[in-house]
């Protein structure tokens, strides 16, 4: 005999709520990563990220204008109206965009301006004589301490933010850029190539025998191989060329050359330098390299990836251009 449990209304509603929540999580999980991140960010976060990526030079004009407008508004309205919150917002924006020194300088000027325009008294009486000199000096000192604390806090947050942004673009094992930074920097290289009337040289490197090194000697040995390749790749290119570890045992580079012949020579030199570094190590691993030239970075990388597999199929440790 089967017993049927009777569910209460509260249990049914709770079950429906949890089921809807699971469905929402599944739908959200299948959204593209950019849309997921955008949905999780507030307007303030998006503004801070955009301002951090942009140059400080365009922000100078509109921040100076905002300071002038705020000071004029404070002077026109007189001491009966307080604009302290707006001053703090502008101080935070100034510190975020231009750094701690600019924030401290503008903070000192803001305190001097507010004391000159509104006096040392409280904001309701608007009479300087209503507050004793000692209390007025104490109020001004407390205002200065608060402003300095906020400026130092925003400055420390900006430095931490910049450091985390930089770390998010670096492969922690090899010190090269990761896939995300590689895609971003390749776009810059593409624009530079068009400006200088040069072409792009893109290459993809895949290690041969890397899995055997991992299996026989452990992951520490595999990490050492990856670091050797990264150092050799960095030494084979110019400081402003783009290099990255795309993931696993796959590396890539992107640089500009004069013509296809120069690209062929450069790809051969990079392959020779990386191979020499690997042969000088104690690990039995080599690399295959596929390289291609072109004016479009995505097309060049697709061709380089395809010919890299042709190099591996031809016997490994080869270069196909």
Q: Above 70 in pLDDT, residue 84?
A: yes
Tell me: pLDDT of 94 over 80.
Answer: yes
Q: How confident is the model at residue 169 (pLDDT cuts 50, 70, 90)?
A: confident
Predicted confidence (pLDDT) per residue in 100-140, tens digit: 898 899 888 888 888 777 765 544 344 445 667 777 677 77
Token pair in block for residue 91: 């101080």
Residue range 60-85: average pLDDT?
Answer: 85
By mean pLDDT, which of 1-15, 32-46, 73-87, 172-186 is the weakest?
Answer: 1-15
Q: Percentage of the chain surpassing pLDDT 70?
A: 80
Q: Which CATH class, in words, describes the domain spanning 179-320? A: alpha beta
pLDDT digits (tens, 9 = 90+) for 33-50: 444 444 446 777 777 777
Long-range contacts of 256-263, Cβ-Cβ distance < 8 Å, separation of 24 or more: 256/189, 256/192, 256/193, 256/196, 256/198, 256/199, 256/200, 256/201, 257/198, 257/199, 257/200, 257/201, 257/293, 258/198, 258/199, 259/199, 260/199, 260/293, 263/199, 263/201, 263/291, 263/293, 263/321
Q: How would you class 127 by CB atoms within 10 Å of its CB: exposed for 0-12, middle for 13-18, buried for 19 or more?
A: exposed
Beta-carbon-side half-sphere exposure of residue 252 (alpha carbons within 13 Å): 28
What are the residue boundaries of the structural domains of the chain, listed by start? 9-40, 52-166, 179-320
Per-residue confidence (pLDDT) for residue 202, from 0 to 100: 94
Looking at per-residue confidence, does 18 or 42 come out higher? 42
Tokens of 79: 């001491």
Structure token pair of residue 62 = 């509109």
Q: Per-residue pLDDT for 63 more than 60?
A: yes
């Amino acid at each position: 005999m089967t017993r049927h449990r009777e569910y209460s209304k509260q249990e049914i509603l709770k079950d429906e709520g949890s089921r809807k929540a699971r469905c929402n999580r599944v739908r959200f999980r299948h959204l593209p990563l950019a849309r997921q991140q955008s949905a999780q960010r507030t307007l303030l976060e998006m503004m801070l990220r955009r301002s951090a990526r942009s140059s400080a030079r365009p922000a100078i004009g509109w921040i100076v204008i905002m300071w002038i407008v705020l000071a004029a508004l404070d002077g026109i309205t007189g001491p009966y109206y307080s604009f302290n919150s707006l001053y703090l917002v502008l101080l935070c924006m100034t510190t975020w965009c231009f750094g701690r020194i600019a924030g401290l300088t503008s903070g000192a000027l803001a305190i001097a301006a507010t004391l000159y325009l509104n006096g040392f008294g409280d904001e309701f009486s608007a009479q300087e004589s209503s507050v004793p000199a000692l209390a007025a000096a104490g109020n001004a000192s407390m205002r200065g301490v608060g402003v300095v604390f906020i400026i130092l806090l925003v400055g420390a947050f900006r430095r931490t933010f910049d450091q985390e942004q930089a770390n998010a673009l670096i492969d922690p094992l090899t010190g090269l850029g990761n896939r995300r930074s590689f895609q971003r920097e390749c776009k810059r290289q593409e624009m530079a190539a068009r400006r200088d009337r040069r072409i792009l040289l893109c290459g993809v490197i895949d290690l041969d025998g890397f899995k055997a090194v991992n299996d026989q000697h452990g992951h520490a040995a595999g990490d050492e191989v990856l670091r050797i390749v990264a150092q050799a790749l960095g030494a084979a290119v110019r400081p402003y060329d783009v290099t990255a570890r795309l993931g696993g045992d796959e590396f890539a580079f992107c640089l500009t050359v004069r013509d296809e012949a120069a690209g062929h020579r450069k790809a051969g030199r990079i392959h020779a330098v990386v191979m020499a570094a690997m042969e000088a190590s104690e690990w039995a691993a080599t690399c295959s390299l596929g390289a291609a030239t072109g004016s479009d970075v995505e097309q060049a990388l697709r061709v380089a990836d395809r010919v890299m597999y042709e190099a591996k199929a031809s016997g490994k440790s080869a270069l196909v251009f």
